């Protein structure tokens, strides 16, 4: 099976469209997956917004690394769930797109993205414009066949020296080849920012487990992410040092500063609030 529009595509159908203004869509998470990360739910919302934005400017450009001012995590999405996606475009032109959006399961909100902003870059650098137009038409009509997403292998994090309960560091080795590169993007493979953020969240939760004390049987979960900045693309095969530093903590919640570097050059920063959830 061709990995384009399969290995990292999370919109099956666009069910309602007001061109350049708002849209609704769906994505069914394949039931055979082990998990479906919250960052992929956010990716699905962003992809719906990207389709609306690309259509608005006749596929001359596409948004790349559109980041939310605030992402609020409301719940977990189980394999087999049907995501109901909604986006509202705030502004969109050939230079940039700004939007907000959310994802729901059975009418219950799972994630909310507030005030996302991303640059519009020439679409031909990343994908074939005619292929994107055809795909958009399909999504707006009968929709794409479901079940094409086969999951993403979770990158291993090699632990580096840190200070237990206060800071953690790990090496993320981006694969040189992976199915998702054929979808993100065919003409210019880039490690998805959402997969980087997912790895950073995993590191932050490991730190939080050691730092947040509680007599109850509970585990830390992501609550909200803010101050996300991406300073450069990450290419296949690069090694990324991830860092997490505890900014605040009590018995039920905490805040963690996140950063990622390549060759000692900062490529991303963020702040994650975590809270305890009963098992």
**Number of domains forming the structure of the chain:** 2
Asked if residue 110 belongs to a domain, the reply is yes
* Domain CATH number, residue 200: 3.10.129.10
Q: Domain check: are 121 and 179 in the same one?
A: no
Q: Domain check: are 237 and 191 in the same one?
A: yes
What is the percent of the chain where pLDDT is above 90? 88
For 103, residues 6+ apart whose C-beta sits below 8 A from its C-beta are 41, 42, 44, 45, 77, 83, 84, 85, 86, 109, 110, 111
If one compares 272 and 252, the residue with the highest pLDDT of the two is 272
Domain span at residue 106? 13-140
Domain final position from 109, 140, 171: 140
pTM value is 0.96
Q: How far are the Cα atoms of 2, 7, 62, 89, 194 from residue 181, in angstroms, in the given order? A: 12, 8, 17, 27, 13
Q: Domain check: are 39 and 133 in the same one?
A: yes
| Cβ(109)–Cβ(150) below 8 Å | no
* Whether pLDDT at 213 is above 80: no
Q: How far are the Cα atoms of 79, 126, 202 from residue 117, in angstroms, in the given order? A: 29, 19, 24
- pLDDT tens digits for range 147-194: 999 999 988 899 999 998 899 999 999 999 999 999 999 999 999 999
For 248, residues 6+ apart whose C-beta sits below 8 A from its C-beta are 254, 255
- pLDDT tens digits for range 66-101: 899 999 999 999 999 999 999 999 999 999 999 999
Q: Report the pLDDT value the prediction gives residue 1, as an integer from 0 to 100.
A: 53
Q: Domain check: are 216 and 99 in the same one?
A: no
């Amino acid at each position: 099976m061709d990995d384009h529009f399969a290995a990292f595509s999370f919109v099956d159908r666009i069910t309602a469209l007001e061109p350049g203004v708002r849209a609704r869509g769906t994505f069914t998470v394949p039931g055979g997956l082990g998990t479906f990360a919250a960052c992929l739910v956010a990716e699905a919302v962003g992809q719906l917004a990207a389709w609306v934005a690309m259509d608005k400017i006749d596929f001359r450009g596409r948004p790349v690394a559109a980041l939310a001012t605030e992402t609020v995590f409301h719940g977990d999405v189980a394999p087999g769930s049907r995501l109901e996606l909604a986006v509202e475009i705030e502004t969109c032109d050939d230079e940039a797109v700004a939007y907000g959006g959310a994802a729901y399961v059975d009418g219950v909100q799972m994630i909310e993205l507030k005030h996302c902003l991303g640059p519009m870059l020439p679409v031909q650098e990343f994908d074939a414009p005619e292929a994107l137009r055809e795909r958009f038409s399909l999504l707006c009509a009968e929709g794409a066949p479901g079940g094409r997403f086969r999951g993403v292998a979770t990158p291993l994090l090699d632990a580096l020296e840190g200070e237990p309960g206060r800071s953690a560091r790990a090496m993320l080795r981006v694969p040189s080849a992976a199915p998702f590169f054929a979808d993100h993007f065919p003409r210019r493979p880039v490690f998805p920012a959402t997969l980087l953020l997912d790895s950073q969240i995993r590191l932050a939760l490991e730190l939080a487990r050691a730092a947040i004390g509680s007599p109850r049987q509970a585990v830390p979960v992501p609550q909200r992410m803010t101050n996300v900045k991406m300073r450069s693309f990450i290419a296949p095969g690069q090694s990324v040092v991830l860092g997490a530093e505890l900014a605040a903590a009590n018995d039920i919640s905490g805040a963690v500063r996140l950063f990622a570097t390549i060759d000692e050059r900062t490529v991303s920063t963020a702040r994650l609030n975590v809270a305890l959830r009963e098992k």
